[in-house]
Each structure stands twice: as structure tokens, then as C-alpha cells.
């Protein structure tokens, strides 16, 4: 058995199996920084998609196991990521406790990651998606909730990328109610963020934008995710959980004037 933490190795292993199936049967790729058996496993023969997914998971420091030997299934695995072409090969082997997430080459790695965490939380049937945002000058914290259950957090470097990520999240779960909560800690930044979000029809017409008091939003000791959480992500998590009031135009200062 070969153990490897580099998905590029597995990529070339997959290419090798075009000529020989013996090598791939011995390959297992394991995510780094494992403290327990990962809950996510990956099985697919689409080398390009496999590389995209594992590169994203490694960048987020999310543990996973990728395998080609189906006899190595473990009861602790909770989500199996595979393709529609490969799923028929798996059915005789998986445990009923493992949820299968079918993906394809057109899926964005960010979408796959978000769907994976929804499956880990057993939230396939939810009503509301909430996105908490902690505006920052250099880094912006983003936290995603489904029916008030925290699912995922990340940092984003600019407003354009934030806008695109929100659109991507909306497209991943198109039928659910959407709520965006924005912290008011730096009022000028908050104004800028709200203005940009309300300019886009895809967000303005399909979500409710709310303003949240951001006081003491960085004091959160626990993430509930696999990766370390930054202060911006912690703040976004608090913002996503807090009561809020609707934004009708732009946020106002304490004196009631527009900023």
C-alpha cells in the first residue's frame, strides 16, 4: 500500500492505470494534519476533477481520504464524494451511514466543498441559507448557516470575490430562502458592501439583506469545522447568529444620518 498526501501523485497514478490497473489499487491519498479518521472520502476516476477537489480541500486544511480499493470502506466515513460514472461500482460496498455526494466535471470546487459540509451536518432538507459577513479592509470573514446551523467559514480578500462567492452559494442551493447579515463594525465599509450587494439583481431580488450590531463578535472559542478559524471568520459566525434589522437603503449612524 502506498500512502501519499500529494494529489498530484494520485493524478499520475490515475494516468498510469490507463495501461495498468494494478498500481491504482494500492494507492490511498490522505489529507494532512489528521487527528482522527476523516469523515470525508473520495472515489473517482476523473483525474482532473479529483485534482481540483483535493487541491481545494488541502488549501482549506480539510481532512479527507481518497481511495480506489472499495474494500477499504470505514464505518466512520460519513460522506463519499464520487461521480455518476463511478457510483454504480460503489453500491455493494458502502455502509448505510455513508451519504453519497455525486459530482461532475462542471461543478465548482467551492460548490462541492459547501455541499460536502451540508451533507456532513445531515442538512439536505433545509429552509433558509444565512450568510454572515464581517467586512474588513484586508480580509473579510464569511460564515454560512443552514437553518441556523453553522456549516462553513472562510476569508475573502476583496469585495468582487465576495460577490461572486455569494452568487455561487445561491446557485448551489437555488430553491432555499436566502438571508445576508452584515456587521456594522466599520460603518463606511458596511455601506460600501451593502451598496455593492444591492446593485446586483441576483442578490437584491433573491435575498434579504440585514444589518447586525458587531459588538464583541470576535470572542468565539469553537468553530465546529475541520480547520482553524481566523478572527474574521469568528466574527462572521457571530454575525450570522445575531438578531438583525432590514436594510432599506444604506446603514445609518447612531445619530440617524446616512453614512
Q: What is the mean predicted confidence (pLDDT) over 37-58?
A: 89
pLDDT exceeds cutoff 70 at 255:
no
Distance from C-alpha of 146 to C-alpha of 178, rounded to nearest angstrom? 10
Straight-line distance from the first to the last Cα atom of the chain, in angstroms, rounded to the nearest whole number: 62
Residue that wins the pLDDT comparison between 134 and 15: 134
Q: Which residue's C-alpha cell is 439583506? A: 209
- Tell me, what's the pLDDT at 9? 52
pTM > 0.95: yes or no: no
Mean model confidence pLDDT for the chain: 78
Confidence band, pLDDT 50/70/90 cuts, at residue 5: very low
Q: What is the pLDDT of residues 102-135, one digit of tens each?
A: 999 999 999 999 999 999 998 878 899 999 999 9
Contact 142, 155 (CB under 8 A): yes
- Tell me, what's the pLDDT at 256? 43
The domain locations on the chain are 2-120, 128-246
- Tell me, what's the pLDDT at 30? 46
- Tell me, what's the pLDDT at 8? 53
- Tell me, what's the pLDDT at 4? 46
Residue that wins the pLDDT comparison between 138 and 38: 138
Residue that wins the pLDDT comparison between 250 and 41: 41
Q: What is the pLDDT of residues 48-61, one digit of tens each?
A: 999 999 999 999 88
Q: Which residue's C-alpha cell is 442551493? A: 173
Q: Does domain 2-120 have CATH number 1.10.220?
A: no
**How many CA atoms are closer than 13 Å to the CA of 27, on its beta-carbon side?**
25
State whether residue 144 is helix, strand or coil.
strand
Number of residues in the chain: 259
- Tell me, what's the pLDDT at 115? 95
Q: What is the mean predicted confidence (pLDDT) over 159-165?
A: 94
Burial 189-213 (b: 16+ CB within 10 A, else e): bbbebbeebeeeeebeeebebbbbe
Contact 179, 203 (CB under 8 A): no
Residue that wins the pLDDT comparison between 61 and 93: 61
Give the CATH number of domain 128-246: 3.30.420.140
Least Cα distance to 227 among 33, 37, 14, 42 occurs for: 33
The C-alpha R_g of the chain, in whole angstroms, comes to 20
DSSP per residue, 13-79 = HHHHTTT-STTGGGEEEE-SS-SS--SEEE--S-HHHHHHHHHHHHHTT---EEES-GGG--TT--E
User: How deeply is 146 buried, as exposed, middle or buried, from its count of CB atoms within 10 A (0-12, 13-18, 19+)?
Assistant: buried
Q: What is the pLDDT of residues 182-237, one digit of tens each?
A: 998 888 889 999 999 888 888 888 889 999 987 765 555 444 444 567 889 999 99
Least Cα distance to 142 among 200, 52, 229 occurs for: 229
Amino acid at each position: 500500500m502506498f500512502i501519499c498526501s500529494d494529489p498530484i501523485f494520485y493524478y499520475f497514478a490515475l494516468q498510469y492505470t490507463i495501461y495498468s490497473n494494478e498500481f491504482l489499487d494500492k494507492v490511498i491519498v490522505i489529507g494532512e494534519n489528521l487527528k482522527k479518521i476523516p469523515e470525508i472520502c473520495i472515489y473517482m476516476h476523473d483525474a482532473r476533477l479529483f485534482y481540483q477537489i483535493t487541491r481545494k480541500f488541502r488549501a482549506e486544511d480539510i481532512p479527507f481520504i481518497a481511495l480506489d480499493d472499495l474494500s477499504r470502506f470505514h464505518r466512520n466515513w460519513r460522506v463519499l464524494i464520487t461521480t455518476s460514472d463511478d457510483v454504480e461500482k460503489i453500491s455493494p460496498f458502502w455502509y448505510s451511514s455513508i451519504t453519497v455526494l455525486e459530482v461532475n466535471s462542471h461543478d465548482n470546487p467551492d460548490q462541492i466543498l459547501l455541499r460536502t459540509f451540508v451533507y456532513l451536518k445531515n442538512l439536505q432538507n433545509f429552509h433558509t441559507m444565512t450568510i454572515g459577513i464581517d467586512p474588513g479592509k484586508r480580509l473579510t470573514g464569511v460564515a454560512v448557516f443552514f437553518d441556523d446551523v453553522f456549516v462553513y467559514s472562510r476569508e475573502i480578500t476583496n469585495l468582487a470575490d465576495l460577490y461572486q462567492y455569494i452568487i455561487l452559494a445561491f446557485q448551489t442551493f437555488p430553491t432555499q430562502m436566502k438571508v445576508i447579515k452584515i456587521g456594522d463594525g466599520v460603518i463606511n465599509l458596511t455601506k460600501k458592501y451593502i451598496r455593492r450587494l444591492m446593485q446586483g439583481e441576483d442578490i437584491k431580488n433573491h435575498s434579504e439583506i440585514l444589518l447586525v450590531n458587531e459588538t464583541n463578535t470576535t470572542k468565539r472559542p469553537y468553530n465546529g469545522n475541520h480547520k482553524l478559524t481566523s478572527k474574521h471568520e469568528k466574527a462572521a459566525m457571530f454575525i450570522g447568529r445575531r438578531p438583525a434589522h432590514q436594510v432599506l437603503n444604506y446603514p445609518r449612524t447612531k445619530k440617524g444620518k446616512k453614512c
